[in-house]
Structure 1
Amino acid sequence: MSPVPFTPEPVRDAVDVMRGAVLLEFGINECPHCQVAQPLIADALKRHPAVQHLRLEDGRGRRLGRTFSVKFWPALIFMKDGVEVARVVRPTTQPEVDAGFAAL
């Protein structure tokens, strides 16, 4: 399975004003933890088509992840109307990912 393309990095102000349910996924393609999580995230997104998904490449020089205090990948930040409502870091099971979606 080829990785989902990364979204160009928005500025924090733009993320904070997003309306509705949004999933910010921080990581990199080479991250083994990110690779494990990809099918779990894809499965959940199929069941939640109304959630806007932004897959964001993180790392040195990437400011958005720092504004969310991302330290480990993948970091899934679930937001509703510009406010963080849940965070899941390094998920390895479907229930972990589903818990984040349930908060939306």
Structure 2
Amino acid sequence: MSQDYATTAPTREELDAMPGICVIEFGTSWCGHCQRAQAPIAAAFAPHTELKHIKVEDGPGRRLGRSFRVKLWPTLVFLRDGEEVARVVRPTDGAALADALAAVGLG
């Protein structure tokens, strides 16, 4: 799992049309909350090698995060066939992540 957040992101239209299950993680590499969340995220996602996980750098002027109404980092948006099914904000352990994975059918 990459520690870095991509500075380029897919468009909202691309995500809305994406088939299957995808998690978009909004945050920044320098954010303390984002750094602390990486271990629980990696542990929760490890058994799901088929899961598409896209880490996107968020901040002022970043339209994708605004389109998902992201307010705090990290925010993980769980999509199934382009539709938001679950959301986890600032995970500190695997429980909320497991619930979200179950909601998209990976539980």
TM-score (norm 1): 0.92
RMSD: 1.4
What is the CA distance between 1:4 and its match in structure 2?
A: 3.7
What is the CA distance between 1:29 and its match in structure 2?
A: 0.8
Letter in 2 for 1:43: A
Q: Which runs of 5+ in 2 are unaligned?
A: none
Checking the alignment, whether the CA contact within 8 Å between 1:7 and 1:54 is kept in structure 2 is no
Structure 2 counterpart of 1:56: 56
Give yes or no for the alignment of 1:12 onto 2:38.
no
- The separation in 2 between residues aligned to 1:93 and 1:72, in whole angstroms, is 17
What is the CA distance between 1:3 and its match in structure 2?
A: 1.8
- The separation in 2 between residues aligned to 1:15 and 1:101, in whole angstroms, is 18
Q: Which runs of 5+ in 1 are unaligned?
A: none
User: Compared with structure 1, are the counterparts of its residues 65 and 85 closer, same or farther at alpha carbon in structure 2 (3 Å cutoff)?
Assistant: same
Structure 2 counterpart of 1:96: 96
Structure 1 stretches of 4+ with a deviation exceeding 2 A read: 4-8
- The separation in 2 between residues aligned to 1:5 and 1:87, in whole angstroms, is 18
- The separation in 2 between residues aligned to 1:94 and 1:81, in whole angstroms, is 24
CA deviations 1:46-74 (Å, max 9, x no partner) are: 11111101000000111000000000000
Give yes or no for the alignment of 1:42 onto 2:46.
no
Structure 2 counterpart of 1:32: 32
| Alignment: residue pair count | 103
- The separation in 1 between residues aligned to 2:88 and 2:46, in whole angstroms, is 18
Letter in 2 for 1:39: A
What is the CA distance between 1:5 and its match in structure 2?
A: 4.8
What is the CA distance between 1:102 and its match in structure 2?
A: 1.1
- The separation in 1 between residues aligned to 2:84 and 2:77, in whole angstroms, is 7
- The separation in 2 between residues aligned to 1:5 and 1:24, in whole angstroms, is 11
TM-score (norm 2): 0.90
